[in-house]
Structure 1
Amino acid sequence: MQFAQISDSLVFNQIHSDGLLSPSYRMRHQIVLFGDSITEQSFREGGWGAALADTYSRKADVLVRGYGGYNTRWALFLLHHLFPMGSEKPPVSVTIFFGANDAALLGRTGERQHVPVEEYKENLRRIVQHIKNCSPAVLVVLITPPPVDEQGRLEFAWSLYGDKATKLPERTNESAAVYAKKCVELAKELGLPSINLWSKMQETEGWQKKFLSDGLHLTAEGNAVVHGEVVKVFSEAGLSAPKMPYDFPPPFRN
């Protein structure tokens, strides 16, 4: 017991002498994930947000700001609440992952979520501009909507509503492609990194069932794709987890 107390004291004294108890040292970076239900669900088992939090454990806090059902039009109303001007601790990076709901088709069951593609692009621009006004140095990453498995959407609707289910998918892969293109286009205009998830997932044979659980949302394998792409972009932008310092050092040193 006495040895343990002495050992603990030595560890504390070492940390204190190195100046590692100062508030500035303890301040972890924050990474904010902003998006719709695909972001909201990212901390479920096998989710890409949870995996990202593990990747940056003790180095950055990963904050999920995902809102199921939201499109970019509704997301604009959240900006001043989520990213207040004059914040003393702005995030070091923000992922913006919208478009799956904006791309819902008019005249179908999800038409209330539909946002015209040009408005979608301008809404994304306004979101980026607000975040950049809060912190010019923040790394903003745009993520396109994923591809859509139309048969998977119909099967999911059948599982919920049976004979009353819609006979036409409320989203199509063709429509998602248009929104993905605009997202990438805006990223290039603004000089931002982007992840073309729509294209990336379709590089794999059988992506419909491998990456999508209901024709739209992600399986564990689909989440792994997003996690891998985000880590890759972060690393290329200078946020490589292995190269970032811990908020506090390990208690034992060689």
Structure 2
Amino acid sequence: MRPSIVLFGDSITEESFGEGGWGAYLANHYSRSADVILRGYSGYNTRWAARVLARAVTGIPSASVAAVTVLFGANDASLPTRASAFQYVPLGEYRENLRAICALLRDRWPAAAVILVTPPPVDERGRLRFIGGGGGDGSGLPERTNQATGEYARACVQVAVECGLRVIDIWSRMQMFPGWETSFLRDGLHLTPRGNRLLFEEVVWALGDANLSLEALPADLPLCSDIDPDNAAKYFEEEEEEE
């Protein structure tokens, strides 16, 4: 069975199949080796994600799932006294929700590699430009801060270590590059094409570490270059017999 890679997350995942998105890059990268399945829910935090996970993955053949990425935290880290307070989840609950999500995924797909991804950093000036100088609530302050998001990113890494899972610390990785605020983020939160490319590269590396590189996966059906044009019919009959 052709393996599947499931992407589970908030808007940063939901948007990933857009032009230049990291999920679209993945689908192209694995086009002959694996199916990339999108389960992204814009605006969701881990509290809501934990409640809908079982329903969200219904219908995905369990035997096919080789890996799943989990990317939540950008909404959980919304400040409880600002415009997006309805999305806020306390840090301790965020950890517990991540553990619950990972436990459910491991129970449903025991052989799959679960890869946690931290929320990306936040450019507060970019957020204010996007939502308006009033901050959305008249305070003149952004509804998210990079400092608060960093706490959730570190918590995500801690949960991964505790659970023995792979983790991509994209919050730290992006900030290694000068000018990350506008190079990787288009509105202070969501990814630019370059930000999507960086996340794609990190996910490909993590999948390779889980023995899911292109080199480790067989191509789905024979490559054109491997087919003897004078004996193709017989070759495909043999393929069908093996199935």
Fold in common (TM above 0.5): yes
Separation in structure 1 between the aligned mates of residue 203 and residue 63 of structure 2, nearest angstrom: 22
Residue equivalent to 2:124: 150
Q: Partner letter of residue 222 of structure 2?
A: P
Is the CA contact (8 Å cut-off) linking 1:144 and 1:183 kept in structure 2? Answer: yes
1:134 maps to which residue?
108
**Which stretches in structure 2 are left out of the alignment for 5+ residues?**
229-243
Identify the residue that residue 201 of structure 1 maps to in structure 2: 174
Which digits, 9 at most, give the CA deviation of each residue in 1:218-237, with x for residues without a partner? 00000011000000011011
Which residues in structure 2 correspond to 1:1-254 (within 5 Å)? 27-84=1-58, 87-158=61-132, 167-253=140-226
Q: Which amino acid aligns with 2:40?
A: G
The residue identity in structure 2 corresponding to 1:101 is N
Q: CA 1:250–1:118 in structure 2 vs 1: closer, same or farther (change >3 Å)?
A: same
Give per-residue Cα distances to partners, 1:101-137, cap 9 Å, x unaligned: 0000011000000000110011000000001011211
Q: Deviations over 1:206-246 (max 9, x none)?
A: 00000000000000000011000000011011001133111
- Partner Cα distance (1:128, 1:230) in 2: 17
Amino acid across the alignment from 1:168: L
Tell me the TM-score normalized by structure 2.
0.88
Code of the aligned partner of 2:212: L
User: Residue type matched to 2:172 in 1?
Assistant: S
Q: Is the 8 A contact 1:90 1:134 kept in 2?
A: no
Structure 1 outlier segments of 4+, above 4 Å: 84-88, 161-166
**Alignment length (residue pairs):** 227
Percent identity between matched residues is 51
| C-alpha contact (below 8 Å) 1:52/1:227 kept by paired residues | yes
How big is each residue's C-alpha offset from its partner over 1:33-66, in whole Å with a ceiling of 9 and x where there is no partner? 0000000000111100000111111111001100
Distance 2:51 2:77 in 1: 19
The CA RMSD over aligned residues, in Å, is 2.0
Unaligned runs of 5+ in 1: 1-26
Q: Are the aligned partners of 2:118 and 2:168 in contact in 1 as well (CA < 8 Å)?
A: yes
Q: Distance in 2 between the 1:175 and 1:88 partners?
A: 36
Classify 1:39/1:215 alpha carbon distance in 2 versus 1 (closer, same or farther; 3 Å).
same
The structural deviation recorded for 1:251 is 3.4
